[in-house]
Amino acid sequence: MTSTDSLAQNLTCIDCGSSYSLGYRLECAKCQGLLELRYDLDVLRGRGPTLFAGTGLWRYAPVLPIADPAHRITLGEGGTPLLDCPRLAAQLGVRRLLIKYDGPNPTGTVKDRSSATAIAAALQFGFHATSVVSSGNAGSSIAAYSARAGLRSLIFAYQRASAPKLLHMAATTSDLVIYQGVYDDLITHWDRLVEERLFFDCGASRNAYKHEGKKTLAYEIAEQTGWQPPDVVVAPVAVGETFIAPARGFGEMREAGWTPRLPLMVAAQATGANAIVRAFRERRPITPLKIGYTVAEGLAAGNPGRKGEWTLRLLRELGGLAGDVGDEEILATQRTLARTEGIWAGPTGVAALAVLTRLLAQRQLDPAQTICVIVSETGLKTEAEPPSRQGVAFDAESLEKLVRERLGV
């Protein structure tokens, strides 16, 4: 066993427990349940964290499902900062606040983690084309990683995606198609084409190889805290990839004896697309929603499907929490984070911090704990009106007067 070998053993149904070899399979043949990748945890127990070598996402190759190192494409994703935020912590009244900021990833989003493992799997299984239906970030990320791998990509992008995201997609994809209407409607039709294997499935609904890349969030957070993970981890949720994958990662490390505890997992949604939060709060199954526009574009899923059901199951099994916030709260939190800690993040990622703020105000979380928020995207792809470009002319006297007034000196 070397630091480059994958410990992946099989695909296992999360519902009936049926096991399958490591092929390209999207659901259980017996019950149509979702599949998760299982690893040889005995090796993890025996070797410990010394098993990992190198940098970035592929540092964690032993707990990722790509066997051939030649297929492990990269644009330099992973290894993003875990930022201590003392001023914002003081403002929120918590003992310690950590931001796991994935904005520095190559396309500015956490989705680069899942794109790396998705496109590597596409190579592993001999596909020549990829496709995804996207509200923005997933499309630009899959397009970039497909280009890096030399694969064709067919990207379906929401017509209201921000201009910077559309520009990025158009520059990197083989084919960009702008769609009208609701994501949930198109994804239903697109999923039928997945069955014909016309392309590698890079969607968020079923592909275990895709979301596995986001599991590295948990491994990085644990390693960056000296294998003493935070008490609480808050993740933004659409269908649940960025919740499920880290939860599984923390579970693997706990089972291997690397960490002393599991963090409390919190799912954060936008109020306009909060099907999972509603079901959790009302203690019932998920009811799909008809949704409109939200500034948190990456959270705009009214029907989270089976991944959403998996997220809800994990919330209940792990004793987690869930919350939602509206667009005004998200945008206010975006400004607060930028001015308080210098982190200019996008609304999708900031939604998790806004939910944390609300849960603290509702006294649902203990402020004496160490809390980590996954802020999943940069703000540099946000579409917003810039400040006024009307300039002011200065002479020496007026410039000094303004500086003294503004700085209070």
Distance (Å) of CA 105 to CA 42, 152, 174, 389: 32, 22, 22, 30
Q: Is the pLDDT of residue 37 over 70?
A: yes
> Could you tell me the two tokens for 73?
């494409």
Distance (Å) of CA 39 to CA 7, 170, 212, 237: 5, 38, 12, 25
Q: Is the pLDDT of residue 111 over 90?
A: yes
pLDDT (0 to 100) of residue 406: 94
Better-predicted residue by pLDDT, 181 or 246? 246
pLDDT (0 to 100) of residue 1: 58
The answer to whether the CB of 235 falls within 8 A of the CB of 266 is: yes
Q: How far apart are CA 306 and CA 317, in angstroms?
A: 16
pLDDT (0 to 100) of residue 190: 87
pTM to 2 decimals? Answer: 0.94
Q: Is the pLDDT of residue 107 over 70?
A: yes
CATH of domain 82-108+211-375: 3.40.50.1100
Closest CA to 131 of 66, 191, 57: 191
pLDDT (0 to 100) of residue 354: 99
pLDDT (0 to 100) of residue 52: 94
Distance (Å) of CA 251 to CA 61, 209, 233, 325: 17, 18, 13, 28
pLDDT (0 to 100) of residue 2: 65
Q: Is the pLDDT of residue 389 over 90?
A: no
Read off the pLDDT of residues 47-100 as tens digits, 9 standing for 90 and up. 989 899 999 999 999 999 999 999 999 999 999 999 999 999 999 999 999 999
Three-state SS string across 338-380, please?
A: HHHHCCCECHHHHHHHHHHHHHHHCCCCCCCCEEEEEECEECC
- Range 152-171 average pLDDT: 88
- Residue 47 CB: number of other CB atoms within 10 A? 15
Q: Is the pLDDT of residue 384 over 80?
A: no
* Max CA pair span of the chain: 80
The overall average pLDDT reported for the chain is 94
- Please enumerate in sequence order all residues whose Cβ is within 8 A of that of 7, keeping only pairs 6 or more positions apart, or say none: 1, 39, 40, 41, 43, 44, 62, 63
Q: How confident is the model at residue 184 (pLDDT cuts 50, 70, 90)?
A: confident
- Please enumerate in sequence order all residues whose Cβ is within 8 A of that of 189, keeping only pairs 6 or more positions apart, or say none: none
Q: How far apart are CA 299 and CA 347, in angstroms?
A: 9
The answer to whether the CB of 48 falls within 8 A of the CB of 58 is: no
Q: How far apart are CA 400 and CA 395, in angstroms?
A: 9
Domain boundaries, the chain: 82-108+211-375
Look up residue 305 and give its amino acid: G
Q: How far apart are CA 196 and CA 179, in angstroms?
A: 21
**Residue 319 CB-density burial (10 A; 0-12 exposed, 13-18 middle, 19+ buried):** exposed
Q: How far apart are CA 35 and CA 12, in angstroms?
A: 5
Read off the pLDDT of residues 329-381 as tens digits, 9 standing for 90 and up. 999 999 999 999 999 999 999 999 999 999 999 999 999 999 999 999 999 98
Q: How far apart are CA 233 and CA 375, in angstroms?
A: 11
- Range 382-389 average pLDDT: 76
- Range 275-296 average pLDDT: 94
Q: Element (H or E) spanning 205, and its range?
A: none
Closest CA to 297 of 174, 192, 409, 166: 166
Read off the pLDDT of residues 205-237 as tens digits, 9 standing for 90 and up. 899 999 999 999 999 999 999 999 999 999 999
- Residue 328 CB: number of other CB atoms within 10 A? 11
Q: Element (H or E) spanning 266, and its range?
A: strand 264-270
Instruction: Strand 175-179: give its sheet, edge to edge.
Output: 175-179, 152-158, 129-134, 200-201
- Residue 24 CB: number of other CB atoms within 10 A? 17
